[in-house]
Amino acid sequence: MSDQGSRHLRFGTRTIHAGVKPEPVTGAIMTPIFQTSTYVQPAVGEPLGGSYDYGRTANPTREALEANVASLESGTHAVAFASGLAAIEAIVKRLSAGDHVVSEENTYGGTTRMFNKVLSRLGIEFTYVDSREPGAVEAAMRPNTRLVHLETPTNPMMRVADIAAIAEIAHAGGALLSVDNTFASPYNQRPLEMGADFTVHSSTKYINGHSDVIGGVLAVKDPELAEEIYFLRKSTGAVPGPMDCFLTLRGIKTLHVRMRQHNENGLAVARYLEAHPAVDRVFYPGLESHPQHELASRQMTGYTGMVSVDVGSLARAKAFTEHTRIFKLAESLGGVESLISVPALMTHGSVPADRRAAMGITDGLVRLSVGIEDEADLLEDLERVLSGG
């Protein structure tokens, strides 16, 4: 679904209003949850609105969410899915056996698992590169490369890829570029503005932001590409339910306010940890010490609440993550509450050990999803555990 009407409004206003119209019967300001599987048609083959024939094909709650995300990502259309992985899968399912994909190597663990264990069995080939170096992407391109897939910043190493430079490389080689924008959120980074063809989210994370929905959404700026993705979703079926679309749309209304606080708290936690003697290294693109800070500040306007640190060993990582009180030990990220995890044993447990090591995911790596609680409470929680206070 697209929403051209609110194009002139600023980001924070669009989070609340883009794609959302008062319900026509009562004027209800909140988009209703159209919890229906089918629609009554006034005449054979003439569904209302031209499209309301079946819930997998069309749903007004879902369409409002999609129009909103399309606007926030500076796209023309967005398509919502049952999960982030279903959205990424749809992008790859445009391809056919014999086609080739170049992917950043340090993506979300589940993305790598899907590429390696499911989609590669269908005859699609994947090459993994360190996309911090655009030349590595260029070198991996083949005549049959049809997609370059980035994630920036990456999970959990916070590597940053130059979206504009890699868009040029992908297009010169006849491929499209997709960017997993989950970690940044459209508040901080809008890949379509930098030349990407797809921007894709696990809306489970910052977009919904309240840790109560699994969802995915992608946005494009080409109506023909949108048609292809609608067709794929309709034909394969990974649609989100109306209730989840409603909750996600409600969560989005505070995206700009939440992200400002995530950015502020994330930076404060990163600075605190960088100065702490119990921490060997901090990975956060907002720190001047991050090797790609300059690139990050060129293509992002904030650095989110995702911070990774190396505390030296698995024993120390466990001692750290099992004793914080406000930071809860859990997978996932991007919600209002702070979470802490050990990627090697949790989110990236399915990535082979040698690949983990190559990416720098040591056993002592700890990932923090800094929430929007009061900064002083978060710092005190970390101080108590790290300094044994």
Ligand X SMILES: *Cc1c(COP(=O)(O)O)cnc(C)c1O
Active site residues: 56, 108, 180, 205
Binder of ligand X out of 47, 216, 266, 343 (CB under 6 A): 216
Q: Which is nearer to ligand X, 132 or 316 (CB)?
A: 132
47 binding ligand X? (CB under 6 A): no
* Rounded Cα–Cα distance for residues 82 and 65 (Å): 13
Site for ligand X in 69-98 (CB under 6 A): 83-85
205 binding ligand X? (CB under 6 A): yes
151 binding ligand X? (CB under 6 A): yes
Binder of ligand X out of 76, 103, 131, 182 (CB under 6 A): 182
111 binding ligand X? (CB under 6 A): yes
Q: Which is nearer to ligand X, 147 or 385 (CB)?
A: 147
Find the shortest distance in angstroms from Cβ 298 to ligand X: 21
180 binding ligand X? (CB under 6 A): yes
Q: How many residues touch ligand X (CB under 6 A)? A: 16
Binding window for ligand X (CB under 6 A); candidates: 37-45, 72-80, 202-210, 351-359: 202-210
Q: Which is nearer to ligand X, 151 or 363 (CB)?
A: 151
Using CB atoms within 10 Å of the CB of residue 77, give its burial: 0 to 12 exposed, 13 to 18 middle, 19+ buried.
buried
Cα distance from N-terminal residue to C-terminal residue, the chain: 53
- Report which of 334, 316, 319 is spatially closest to residue 265, judged by C-alpha positions: 334
Binding window for ligand X (CB under 6 A); candidates: 175-183, 256-264, 355-363, 369-377: 175-183
263 binding ligand X? (CB under 6 A): no
Closest-CB residue for ligand X? 84
108 binding ligand X? (CB under 6 A): yes
Q: What three-state secondary structure class fits 251? A: helix
Binding window for ligand X (CB under 6 A); candidates: 49-57, 93-101, 107-115, 171-179: 107-115
| Distances in whole angstroms, Cα of residue 126 to Cα of each of 102, 193, 195, 303 | 6, 26, 22, 29
Q: What three-state secondary structure class fits 98? A: coil
131 binding ligand X? (CB under 6 A): no
Partners of 365 in beta bridges: 310
| Distances in whole angstroms, Cα of residue 193 to Cα of each of 24, 221, 291, 296, 324 | 34, 9, 24, 15, 39
Phi-psi label, residue 209: left if phi above 0, alpha if psi -120 to 50, beta otherwise = left
Q: Which is nearer to ligand X, 47 or 110 (CB)?
A: 110
Is the Cβ–Cβ distance between 129 and 140 less than 8 Å? yes
Find the shortest distance in angstroms from Cβ 251 to ligand X: 14
Q: What residue type is 355 in one-letter code?
A: R
Binder of ligand X out of 106, 131, 188, 202 (CB under 6 A): 202
Binder of ligand X out of 15, 103, 155, 263 (CB under 6 A): 155
- Report which of 270, 267, 253 is spatially closest to residue 210, judged by C-alpha positions: 253
209 binding ligand X? (CB under 6 A): no
204 binding ligand X? (CB under 6 A): yes
| Both tokens assigned to 155 | 């999970």
- Report which of 187, 189, 147 is spatially closest to residue 166, judged by C-alpha positions: 147
Q: Which is nearer to ligand X, 47 or 216 (CB)?
A: 216
Q: Which is nearer to ligand X, 162 or 244 (CB)?
A: 244
Binding window for ligand X (CB under 6 A); candidates: 104-112, 126-134, 370-378, 379-387: 104-112
Q: Which is nearer to ligand X, 111 or 138 (CB)?
A: 111
Find the shortest distance in angstroms from Cβ 351 to ligand X: 13
* Rounded Cα–Cα distance for residues 140 and 247 (Å): 41
Helices (H), 275-352: 293-299, 314-321
- DSSP string of 154-210, one letter each residue: -TTT-----HHHHHHHHHHTT-EEEEE-TTTHHHH--GGGGT-SEEEEETTTTTT-S
User: To which residue do tokens 């003697």 refer?
Assistant: 277
Residues lying near ligand X in the complex (CB under 6 A): 83-85, 108, 110-111, 151, 155, 180, 182-183, 202, 204-205, 214, 216
